[in-house]
Amino acid sequence: MPSAPLVPCQPSPSLAQPLVPPAPVSTEPSLALALQPIVTSTPTPSLPDPKWPEWFLRGYELLSAQDLGLAFTKTIKLYVELEACSNFNVGGIHMGFKKTSRPSQVDWWVGRGRSKAPLIQDVASFERSWWTWWKVLQPSWRNAAGVDGRLGSSHCTVLTGDEGWSVMDKHGQNVFLTVLATLVWWNSGLLDKGKEGVNDPGWIAAVEDVQWVLSQVLGWKATLAPQVTSTTKSTKQTMTAKKRKR
């Protein structure tokens, strides 16, 4: 039987290629890695939230339709946080801020289903009436009603009254939504007069004071929460003890 032909030995592929030194390891992050999006465990929810009730969605759209500056944007976020505390309950007619000294444009707006913004033709007059109304709404310990003109940082005092922020701790479409809507109209009135609304000292002072009040109300509510929980637990324990005695 003839023998099988000899097959020449082929070199191993790994040996056939010349040895190449490994590339140096860089301690710098690669460009591809740098361009990758940063993923957080708790992504920030997008606004507006489609789960919001219709009244709040409309209100949020009104307030955020224009870029009115960083201060107003922060104020809107605080307002959303406050309404979230009551699960965005629309509130009732008698649950809103009192109407004493309230600008007449608010009645005009409410009478048209809050669907059309009033025109602020006399900006100076509107500013005076707005501050008068806003100061009347404040808790008595703040002594705001007796202040002549705008409120400023000197009027942002620490909590001193027993009533706390209860007079401002309200929710629904007849409360802070109305206040913030008046600021939007005020800014539009300034723009109609050819003025920079977001740079107007009176308007900025109003936005900053509303923002401060919202932050104070939220902080005050946070201090009340543990007390309410403690009181509830104490009441339950007392009721349980009475049942055992029976």
pTM beyond 0.85: the answer is no
> Can you give the pLDDT at residue 46?
63
The model's confidence at residue 242, banded by pLDDT at 50, 70 and 90, is very low
How far apart, in Å, do the first and last CA atoms of the chain sit? 111
**pLDDT above 60: residue 39:** no
Q: What is the pLDDT of residues 74-112, one digit of tens each?
A: 999 999 999 999 999 999 878 889 899 999 999 999 999
Query: Which of helix, strand or coil describes residue 126?
Result: helix
Nearest Cα to 191, choosing from 103, 123, 114? Answer: 123
The model's confidence at residue 205, banded by pLDDT at 50, 70 and 90, is very high
- 40: which residues sit within 8 A by CB, 6+ positions away? none
Q: What is the pLDDT of residues 44-76, one digit of tens each?
A: 456 789 999 999 999 999 999 999 999 999 999
Average pLDDT over residues 2-12: 41
How many Cα neighbours within 13 Å face the side chain of 244?
Answer: 6
Nearest Cα to 164, choosing from 109, 110, 216, 86? Answer: 216
CA distance 83 to 222: 14
Alpha helices (H) in the chain, listed in sequence order: 13-16, 31-35, 54-64, 70-84, 104-111, 123-137, 176-192, 201-245
